[in-house]
Amino acid sequence: MIEFSEKQLWRDRISSTVKEYLRYLRYILNGHLVLVLVFLLGAGSYYYQEWLKGISTGFPAALIMSILLALLVTKSPIYTFLKDADRIFLIPVESRMKKYFINCLLLSFIFQVYILLIGLGIMMPLYASVNNGQFEHFWYFFLILCVVKGLNLLIRWQVQHFVNTSHHAADAIIRFCINIVVLFLLFSNASPLFVLAVLVILVLLFVYYLKATKHLGIKWEYLIAQDEKRMGAFYRLANMFTDVPHLRNRIKRRKLLDVFVTRIDYKQNLVFSHLYWRTFFRSGDYLGLSVRLTVIGGIALFFLSFGMGQVLLAVLFLYLTGLQLMPLWNAYQDKLWISLYPLSIDMRKTSFKKTISTVLYVQGVILSAVVALKGDFATGLITLIASFIFTLVFVSLYMNKKLQA
């Protein structure tokens, strides 16, 4: 009989998870994406600094900082690295896994504190702009954020013992409200005693949940589902750059969008057009990612005032959308019936490129319209022309090369 080793289980899970992330990160962080990220970071930093120069000392920086950072503090997922089979094999040794879950909490805390450090670093110039350039409170703020994040993680762990997810939603709302109060007092330079008093409320909330869940066991199904959801999100991101065998496609019919598919004629040369459009609307997250990028791009263009910067930003979002739609080509690579169609591969490529072109053309029109609605019609027209030219080049050259690889 094999002896259960809690330490070995932790080492194996951490090792396999790190290897899995590194396996796909080398595809995600390729040269193209790095250039895009550098451009976005540089443009965002420039406009952020320009915006800060125009704000007054009466700007509600404390309120904005408390709301944004409270979102980061309240969202406190706990990475357990559990797998589907664990609900069978690890339940008998649940009482011996206390250190394993403590390690999970510590690792989750370290990772999320790092994100908080980045978030606070981004927010501090805003704080300094309305407080006469004061940066000396940075580490004091960071210390309090660490304490608040730690309490949120502990509370979140206890709440996960409840089967009814309504407890989870109520807990998130309560913690979010408390976190906003703590951070607002913190960034308003209130007395540390007031901050401490609200922190005591979080401690009492933790004690309450600790007693309420004292006799409740670990909810394995929920923890496993949360970990699968987290890995699924990462796989969907990686699938934009390479094929991910582990990715489980989510199929969801959107009846309102069937009107676009029914407009396609039932002809032999349009067989793959039916396939790719239905897949785009129903399978995976192709439609969702496209919509999100269009919305984010539209918002960014609305607040961006530099003419050529708007054109470049629109083209950048078209490029990101084109990249994320590339895996659509391999959506049916493991389906034998696709190969049984008496149709040439060139016909399939033509349908695929027309599908992607249409999506990018529509996105280009929307982003150009956002620029034009601001009153800058000339730049809007230039954006539209640049979007069409980019789509033509992207599909004809870049995508065509990828399909032949």
Q: What is the pLDDT of residues 151-187, one digit of tens each?
A: 999 999 999 988 888 889 999 999 999 999 999 999 9
Query: 16: how many CB neighbours lie within 10 A of its CB?
Result: 12
- The model's pLDDT over 193-239, given as tens digits with 9 standing for 90+, comes to 999 999 999 999 999 999 998 888 888 889 998 998 888 878 877 76
Mean pLDDT across 377-394? 89
Given the structure tokens 């040439």, which residue do they identify?
Answer: 344
Lowest mean pLDDT segment, chosen from 85-99, 212-226, 252-266: 252-266
User: Is 70 exceeded by the pLDDT of residue 400?
Assistant: yes
Task: Determine the Cα–Cα distance for residues 297 and 292; give it in Å rounded to an integer.
Answer: 8
Q: Report how far Cα 240 is from the mean position of its chain's Cα atoms.
A: 13
Do 128 and 103 form a contact (C-beta atoms < 8 A)?
A: no
DSSP 57: T
Sign of CA dihedral 63, 65, 68, 74: negative
pLDDT at 339: 66
User: Is 70 exceeded by the pLDDT of residue 240?
Assistant: no
Task: Determine the Cα–Cα distance for residues 327 and 242; give it in Å rounded to an integer.
Answer: 7
Lowest mean pLDDT segment, chosen from 12-16, 223-227, 341-345: 341-345
CB-side exposure of 54: number of CA atoms within 13 Å?
A: 4
The mean pLDDT value of the chain amounts to 83
pTM, two decimals, is 0.74
User: Is 60 exceeded by the pLDDT of residue 31?
Assistant: no
pLDDT at 245: 67
pLDDT at 1: 46
Task: Determine the Cα–Cα distance for residues 315 and 321; give it in Å rounded to an integer.
Answer: 10
User: Is 70 exceeded by the pLDDT of residue 404?
Assistant: no
Mean pLDDT across 344-352? 76
Task: Determine the Cα–Cα distance for residues 187 and 225; give it in Å rounded to an integer.
Answer: 37
Percent of residues, the chain, with pLDDT higher than 70: 83
Task: Determine the Cα–Cα distance for residues 119 and 277; give it in Å rounded to an integer.
Answer: 39
pLDDT at 111: 94
Task: Determine the Cα–Cα distance for residues 386 and 152; give it in Å rounded to an integer.
Answer: 47
User: Is 90 exceeded by the pLDDT of residue 286?
Assistant: no
pLDDT at 248: 59
pLDDT at 145: 95
Lowest mean pLDDT segment, chosen from 9-13, 33-37, 331-335: 331-335
User: Is 50 exceeded by the pLDDT of residue 260?
Assistant: yes
For the chain, how many residues are written? 405
Mean pLDDT across 311-322? 86
In one-letter notation, the amino acid at residue 339 is: S
pLDDT at 58: 81
Sorted by where each begins, the domain ranges of the chain are: 52-231, 255-404
In one-letter notation, the amino acid at residue 293 is: L
Query: 183: how many CB neighbours lie within 10 A of its CB?
Result: 25
pLDDT at 376: 76
pLDDT at 242: 65
Instruction: With CA atoms as reference, report the closest residue to 371 among 307, 319, 287.
Output: 307
